[in-house]
Structure 1
Amino acid sequence: MEISGTVAVVTGGGAGIGAAIARAIVAHGGSVVVADLNADRVAAVADSINGSASSTVAASVAGDVSDPAVIDRIIATAEEQFGPVDLYVANAGTTAGMGLDSDDAAWQTALDVNVLAHVRAARALVPGWVERGRGYFLSTASAAGLLTQIGSVTYSVSKHAAVGFAEWLSVTYGDKGIAVSCLCPMGVNTELLNAGFETDRDGASVAASAVTSAGNVLEPDDVADVVIEALGDERFLILPHPEVLKMYQHKGSDYGRWISGMQRYQRALTES
């Protein structure tokens, strides 16, 4: 994909990876609508991007990006201000819930934000992209979606589902001009890690330790750089932590041994 001239949407764009990807898209010649639940932060991101540009290249929409009505408003804002959406970055995420005692409300939040927000956005955009013969959907999942997330069942399951949806979307529409990428980082220095997993909820400290001890914790701008490169190649699996591929291959080569190793890893985290 050629980023220059692209009209993009980035959800979860009020901070972290989303804000970094939005800035990177504009730096490479695109325009962007950033969306987030936090109205003040997402407006500040758009204002900051526009303040560094010679024209208006960013707009903001506040709301729950898993809500179909909000998704429609995001797409309409892009079309009114910049043109038809070329690239949709489904980046918003949540750590709602934690252990097996997570209630149905926490499960619903995790599934809505981490999975169904992607499904609903694709439902709104893909038919039009097929008519145009092009479009790009980028799903932010997690290394947890390829491996697992020690300490958080809701995060692990919903991120597995996000990977599964991205796979299905690529297989089903890849021959119709629709490119799909799935971003699966490990630790990134964001609020999702620092505030989402670093809480007093049951299992949260173990979940955070599992992420931070597995590899380097990257900065959001580092992830954005990898994303821009991968979009240029239209690469499906985007791994800012290259070691995740070896972990995933090890999991697939001997599932039982991998499970045993993860059990040992969990014990080490809980006993430390």
Structure 2
Amino acid sequence: MSGNGGFELAGAGVVVTGAGHGIGEALARRFAAAGARVVVNDLDAKAAEAVAEEIGAGALPGDAADPDGVEALITGARAALGEIDLYCANAGTAVGGSEQAADADWERSWQVNVMSHVRASRMLTGPWLERGRGHWISTVSAAGLLTMLDAAPYAVTKHAALAFAEWLAVTYQHRGITVQALCPQGVRTDMLGGTGAAGDLLLRPTAIEPSQVAETVVEALADGRFLILPHPETAQMYQHRATDTDRWLRGLGRVQQQLDATR
């Protein structure tokens, strides 16, 4: 529950999407350890159920990006929890490629990385506004603040996810809804393994464990900061991007040339 002292996990009703693996699993485990009543969602039903059983949580597997899936998840979570105090829109998909990526890849990225957030918020904000409190966390990734080479669908839709989180914060913060955006760089998950040469160059050297991300989130819940940055250097990169955009783009362009030279 939210208040002047931050969010109190003990006893809170929490939903984490994409919680069968990776960051979502780490979040679910950490929240449950702090006394939260957790609902674990994942497209991988077996993984969701296994995590839920291990941490004493409920499992509501399904597609958190599909309109019917979102409705089933939130309706089921409310029935189990009474109310959802914290919703972690963590499920995501990392599709690589350029502007030449197939329309289906662009569409799936849009549905999972952006529209899943929009659809969930439609069902959450009304009750939260009536209560005068609610808490939302979007897992955006540093790609939403910066970019990701060789992954246009991912970078573009993560920028959109950040923009939507910003919009939610600006629109509802004065009415009791706290919105935060989780923006890690490399995290040692299956998703990192699919980032290819760009990931090897940009992400792997500073990659951290999902449990470290979860600890940073718990710390951020205490003060409600908008940007949750498990990699502190992300803030400096974001500042450089904003204050000298041309220099920033030239620097990344040189990295892109390195990647091109390896092909």
Partner letter of residue 144 of structure 1?
A
1:63 aligns with 2:69: no
Deviation at 1:235?
Answer: 1.2
The list of structure 1 runs, each at least 4 consecutive aligned residues, that deviate by more than 4 angstroms after superposition, is none
1:113 aligns with 2:112: yes
Deviation at 1:223?
Answer: 0.3
Separation in structure 2 between the aligned mates of residue 228 and residue 76 of structure 1, nearest angstrom: 26
> Contact (CA 8 Å) 1:114, 1:158: kept in 2 or not?
yes
> Contact (CA 8 Å) 1:209, 1:269: kept in 2 or not?
no
Separation in structure 2 between the aligned mates of residue 78 and residue 154 of structure 1, nearest angstrom: 30
Separation in structure 1 between the aligned mates of residue 94 and residue 201 of structure 2, nearest angstrom: 14
Q: Which residue does the alignment assign to 1:247? A: 237
- The Cα RMSD (Å) is 1.2
Q: Which residue does the alignment assign to 1:220? A: 210
Q: Which residue does the alignment assign to 2:144? A: 145
**Counterpart mapping for 1:230-245 below 5 A:** 230-245=220-235
- The alignment of Structure 1 onto Structure 2 pairs a total of residues equal to 256
1:211 aligns with 2:202: yes
- State TM-score, norm by structure 1: 0.91
Which string of whole-angstrom CA distances, capped at 9 and with x for unpartnered residues, describes residues 147-189 of structure 1? 1100110000000000000000000000000000000000000
Deviation at 1:268?
Answer: 2.3
Percent of residue pairs bearing the same amino acid type: 48
Partner letter of residue 114 of structure 2?
V
Q: Which residue does the alignment assign to 1:53? A: none
Partner letter of residue 55 of structure 2?
I
1:92 aligns with 2:83: no
Separation in structure 2 between the aligned mates of residue 211 and residue 122 of structure 1, nearest angstrom: 32
- State TM-score, norm by structure 2: 0.94
- Secondary structure at the aligned position of 1:36 is classed as coil
The partner residue of 1:256 within 223, 246, 252 is: 246
Which string of whole-angstrom CA distances, capped at 9 and with x for unpartnered residues, describes residues 56-114 of structure 1? xx111121111122112212222222220010000001013522211111101001001
Partner letter of residue 226 of structure 2?
F
Separation in structure 1 between the aligned mates of residue 222 and residue 29 of structure 2, nearest angstrom: 16
Residues 157 and 147 (structure 1 numbering): CA distance in 2 closer, same or farther, change over 3 Å? same
> Contact (CA 8 Å) 2:25, 2:51: kept in 1 or not?
yes
Which string of whole-angstrom CA distances, capped at 9 and with x for unpartnered residues, describes residues 23-80 of structure 1? 1111111011111111111111101112xxxxxxx11112111112211221222222
The partner residue of 1:40 within 17, 42, 46 is: 46
> Contact (CA 8 Å) 1:97, 1:107: kept in 2 or not?
no
Which consecutive unaligned segments of at least 5 residues does structure 1 have? Answer: 51-57, 198-204
Partner letter of residue 163 of structure 1?
L
Partner letter of residue 116 of structure 1?
M
Deviation at 1:210?
Answer: 3.9
